Amino acid sequence: MDILIAIVYIILFLILMVFVFSIGMLKPFMPKKEIALVLVVAFIIGSIGGAFFLEPLYQEFPAFAGEFEKNVPGNEETLYLDLSSATNIGDLKQNLSQIDGFKSFNETGITFFMWSFNDQELAYFNDVIGNIDSHYGNYTVDPSGKININLEPGYNSNSALQSFSNWYKLVYGDSIAYAQIHAKLVVSSSSLDKFENALLERGIVANHIDGPVQNVINQTNSSMLSYNQFVAVSGVVGVIVSIIGIYFDNVIVGWRKFKKFIKR
């Protein structure tokens, strides 16, 4: 959120609190039984102010906390990407490597989506996958037809896809229409926004991010109040301000007496 907009929201909320305070100061001119009504009105005004002016700022707090962590030297973020097999991985890696803050880009695995396997097919795929390519690492075969294959470090996904495609065509006489490539991008925390924007321009969004910045954001999010709780707290603030206004005259008189006592 723009800093100017944030300042305007805070000023508007303070104006509401001044209004609530002013209502409280009208106590000498209203019956005692109406003081409860003043507190109710103060709670409603405080809640409305919190919902419309403070809550949007409150939601920005995790990102604000993350900005501090981005500036810590040496911090790195790891972005986990799921890419279409139609993606030009070499071109993507080259473009990303030219951005300041680039650390590494590695293709970690591939996923194929087949048909639902019966028990015989499931056993067959579990037996044969490891023999298709010696650079395949651990793999899992799900009865739904999803096959996840981890790649050995340094092995490129294009070769891995070609190996599977050649085997599949040889056995089933057909071509693989679609596969998913998994990659891991490591960048400097201070440059995280640049890489997210560069990926977004290609229609790519990281499915998961690990690192100091994301950890701070996640921790802050987990400790924050819910929307209803925050609005209720804002209402309580309005009540407190109203009470200060109600007893403001007594506070001033007491302060003056205190100052006279100190002087004596």
* CB contact set of 210 (below 8 Å; sequence gap of 6+): 77, 78, 80
Task: Tell whether 83 and 198 lie within a shared domain.
Answer: yes
Residue 116 lies in a domain: yes
Residue 215 lies in a domain: no
Single residue among 190, 210, 230 that ends a domain in this structure: 210
Q: In the predicted model, is pLDDT for residue 107 greater than 80?
A: yes
Residue 232 lies in a domain: yes
The pLDDT value given to residue 16: 93
Residue 161 lies in a domain: yes
Give SS3 for 250. Answer: helix
Residue 114 lies in a domain: yes
Domain range for residue 35? 3-67+221-263
Task: Tell whether 87 and 205 lie within a shared domain.
Answer: yes
**Residue among 13, 51, 14 at smallest CA distance from 231:** 51
At residue 99 the predicted structure's pLDDT band, cuts being 50, 70 and 90, is: very high
Q: In the predicted model, is pLDDT for residue 263 greater than 80?
A: no
Task: Give me the helix-helix angle, 157-172 and 119-132, nearest 10°.
Answer: 130
Task: Tell whether 23 and 132 lie within a shared domain.
Answer: no
Residue 247 lies in a domain: yes
The pLDDT value given to residue 178: 84
Task: Tell whether 106 and 140 lie within a shared domain.
Answer: yes
Rounded mean pLDDT, 8-33 = 85
CA–CA separation, 152 and 232 (whole Å): 54
Task: Tell whether 90 and 190 lie within a shared domain.
Answer: yes
Task: Tell whether 164 and 226 lie within a shared domain.
Answer: no
CA–CA separation, 35 and 208 (whole Å): 53
Strand partners, 104: 186
Least confident of 21-35, 48-62, 217-231: 21-35
Residue 216 lies in a domain: no
Single residue among 166, 184, 210 that ends a domain in this structure: 210
Task: Tell whether 195 and 227 lie within a shared domain.
Answer: no
- Report which residue type is found at 161: L
Task: Tell whether 186 and 248 lie within a shared domain.
Answer: no
At residue 103 the predicted structure's pLDDT band, cuts being 50, 70 and 90, is: very high
Task: Tell whether 203 and 235 lie within a shared domain.
Answer: no
Task: Tell whether 107 and 197 lie within a shared domain.
Answer: yes
Give SS3 for 116. Answer: coil
Q: Which residue has the higher pLDDT, 81 or 4?
A: 81
| DSSP assignments along 54-68, one per residue | IHHHHHTHHHHHHHH
Task: Say if residues 259 and 38 touch (Cβ distance below 8 Å).
Answer: no
As for how many domains the chain has, the answer is: 2
Half-sphere exposure of 93 (CA within 13 A, CB side): 12
Task: Tell whether 122 and 191 lie within a shared domain.
Answer: yes
Residue 91 lies in a domain: yes
Q: In the predicted model, is pLDDT for residue 240 greater than 80?
A: yes
Task: Tell whether 188 and 234 lie within a shared domain.
Answer: no
